[in-house]
Every structure is written in C-alpha cells, then in structure tokens.
C-alpha cells in the first residue's frame, strides 16, 4: 500500500464481538466523531467469525489503521486475540454482560500475559468513551490540529461542570 493511501485511511478501527455490543461501542464512535477522528466500525467475533478475526488483525496495519479499539462481553477474547496478531496499540472495552455485569468481560480482557498488551478500560460506556479519548491522544502526538481539538474537548468538559448541584 502506498503512503498516500495510508494518509487517507481511517486511523482508528472499532471492532466488536457482536451487534449487541454496538450500544456500548457506539459511544466510542460518537466521541471520535466529536473529535473529528475518522474511524471504521466492524463486527469481528473471536468465536463466531474466527477467520474474519485473523484477517482483520493481521491486516490492520496494512489497511492503514494506527489504533484499534476492541469491545467484547462475556468470554471476551477479541481484544487479546487482536493484540496477539497486530503491533498496533489495542484498547479493550469490557462490555457489560447480563449474567455477570461485565466482570467476566473485564477479567477476560485485563489479564493478558506479559508481552501481549491490551490497554483495558472501564466496563461499559465510560470505557468506550475513554478508549476513544486515548486513541485520539495517541494520534494527537503526531497531529497538532487534533491535539488542539482534544484540548478544546477537555476544556468544554471542564466548563460544563457546574459549581453547585441543582434540583433535578
């Protein structure tokens, strides 16, 4: 792939194990949209579509991605398996499961063996939003315009916090 193609490719991949994960992972997408970061969201299941997983993970760098956000629930092997097959930074989002409230997802993602890192976020929406912010921070290291947008996003967040609580 030529350099020009890489420059035009979306830098962030959001992958998730199931359509049912989108309710959580859409928060990562919305956060990236707010920051003007192009991204591509795909369903890639470690268990139901293992060949798709291998193809995605092995080809992610050559597709032009620079960061991967991977969300899954339950036996959440997707982030770790992606990390095993790509040199790109991988941020894992534990999706809140029905049976164990996402503790299963969290422990599946966070306990990686030394040598294969997954940056593991909080369970659910907070994790999805923060994975997007971390992805943006990584990209902002070499993108001054994005760094300014990220600063503005954080300043707006700070400005949005009232001094005192109000009755709801």
SS3 annotation, the chain: CCHHHHHHCCCEEEEECCHHHHHHHHHHHHHHHHHCCCEEEEECCCCCCHHHHHHHHHHCCCCCCCEEEEEEECCCCHHHHHHHHCCCCEEEEEECCCCCCCHHHHHHHHCCCCCCCCEECCCCHHHHHHHHHHHHHHHHCCCHHHHHHHHHHHHHHHHCCCCCCCCC
By the rule CB under 6 A, 130 interacts with ligand RP5: no
Give min distance, CB of 67 to ligand RP5, in A.
19
**Complex with ligand RP5: residue 11 or 94, whichever CB lies closer:** 94
* 6 versus 47: smaller Cβ distance to ligand RP5: 47
Q: Binding ligand RP5 by CB under 6 A: which of 74, 92, 94, 124?
A: 74
Among 18, 29, 86, 130, binds ligand RP5 (CB under 6 A): 18
Residues that bind ligand RP5 (CB under 6 A): 17-18, 20-21, 45, 47, 72-74, 95
């Amino acid at each position: 792939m030529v350099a020009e193609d890489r420059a035009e490719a979306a830098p962030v991949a959001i992958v998730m194990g199931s359509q049912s994960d989108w309710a959580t992972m859409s928060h990562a997408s919305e956060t990236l949209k707010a920051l003007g970061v192009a991204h591509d969201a795909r369903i890639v299941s470690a268990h139901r579509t293992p060949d798709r997983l291998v193809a995605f993970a092995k080809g992610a760098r050559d597709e032009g991605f620079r960061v991967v956000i991977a969300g899954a629930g339950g036996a959440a092997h997707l982030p770790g398996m992606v990390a095993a097959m790509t040199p790109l930074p991988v941020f894992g989002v534990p999706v809140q499961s029905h049976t164990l409230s996402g503790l299963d997802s969290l422990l599946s993602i966070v306990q990686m063996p030394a040598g294969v890192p997954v940056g593991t976020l909080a369970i659910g929406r907070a994790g999805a939003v923060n994975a997007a912010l971390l992805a943006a921070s990584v990209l902002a290291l070499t993108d001054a315009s994005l760094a300014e947008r990220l600063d503005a996003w954080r300043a707006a967040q700070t400005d949005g916090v009232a001094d005192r609580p109000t009755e709801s």
